[in-house]
Amino acid sequence: MAELVVELKHVNIYQQQAIVLKDVSVTIEQSEFVYLIGKTGTGKSSLLRVLYCDLPLTEGEGRVCGYDLKKMSWKETPYLRRKLGIVFQDFQLLTDRSVEDNLRFVLKATGWKEEAKMQARIEEVLDLVRLRTKGFKMPHELSGGEQQRIVIARALLNHPDLILADEPTGNLDPEASEEIIRLLKEISQSSHTAVLLASHDYMTLQKFPSRTLKCENGAVVEASVMEPA
């Protein structure tokens, strides 16, 4: 049986005092690619925030990449996040430095010291996202799709067990959106990295069917990616 990177049992998720999702029980295995769908405001981002410890888990049981979410202290949170790659809709690249320097900044911030090893890893992840020749470019010199591929490269730097992608195609045209989803599906297989991709971009998802979770009516249920939102 494949290793579980996410295991939630009977979890209730709150924003302030209001319950957003109730009785959530979800598992995701290593290398699995899973969609998280639902209308805006149904709790997709809240669920992701629980998984990367931006919202506390107070009710139910949850483990992510071997960490018990209920017992997490603020000191442990950075160690869990090193096992995660997080991809947001807005790219959040540092606009005053090149692609390579964006990636080097993250490596230094997460404890890498040797320049040769950092350079080798930067080249590896740029290869994975097929942008090896763009390392010298500034973010504004890249298209939206290329910028999002750099964000995915950044998410891969520390060999994550799980990538959490929150509306990663939200700012992209259809062609670039397809490219990003195809790339994330490839990475889930080639890098043995699980991917949970939250989106309401049904037109694109239908072209790349995969296991799908749906947020609706305060619950998370298994769904078909082909059914209407």
110 part of a folded domain: yes
| CATH classification at residue 8 | 3.40.50.300
Residue with tokens 């404890």: 111
| pLDDT tier at 229, thresholds 50, 70, 90 | very low
Domain extent at residue 204: 1-83+161-229
Both 77 and 122 in a single domain?
Answer: no
Sign of the CA dihedral 2, 223, 187, 193?
negative
User: Would you state the pLDDT for residue 227?
Assistant: 53
Residue (of 165, 223, 150, 185) closest to 31 by Cα position: 185
Q: Does residue 228 carry a pLDDT above 70?
A: no
Compute the distance between CA of residue 56 and CA of residue 41 in angstroms, rounded to an integer.
19
Cα 49 vs. chain centroid, distance in angstroms? 11
Antiparallel, parallel or unpaired: β 162-166 and 84-87: parallel
Both 48 and 121 in a single domain?
Answer: no
Both 74 and 172 in a single domain?
Answer: yes
Residues sharing a CB contact under 8 Å with residue 51, sequence separation 6 or more, in sequence order: 6, 62, 64, 69, 84, 162, 164, 196
Total domains present in the chain: 2
Average pLDDT over residues 17-41: 93
Both 115 and 126 in a single domain?
Answer: yes
Residue (of 68, 43, 59, 87) closest to 215 by Cα position: 43
181 part of a folded domain: yes
Residue with tokens 């230094």: 108
128 part of a folded domain: yes
Q: Does residue 1 carry a pLDDT above 70?
A: no
Q: pLDDT tens across 77-130, in order? A: 888 988 999 998 777 899 999 999 999 999 999 889 999 999 999 999 999 999
Both 28 and 116 in a single domain?
Answer: no
Average pLDDT of every residue of the chain: 91
120 part of a folded domain: yes
Q: What percent of the chain has pLDDT over 70?
A: 97
User: Would you state the pLDDT for residue 127?
Assistant: 93
- What are 98's two structure tokens? 């090149």
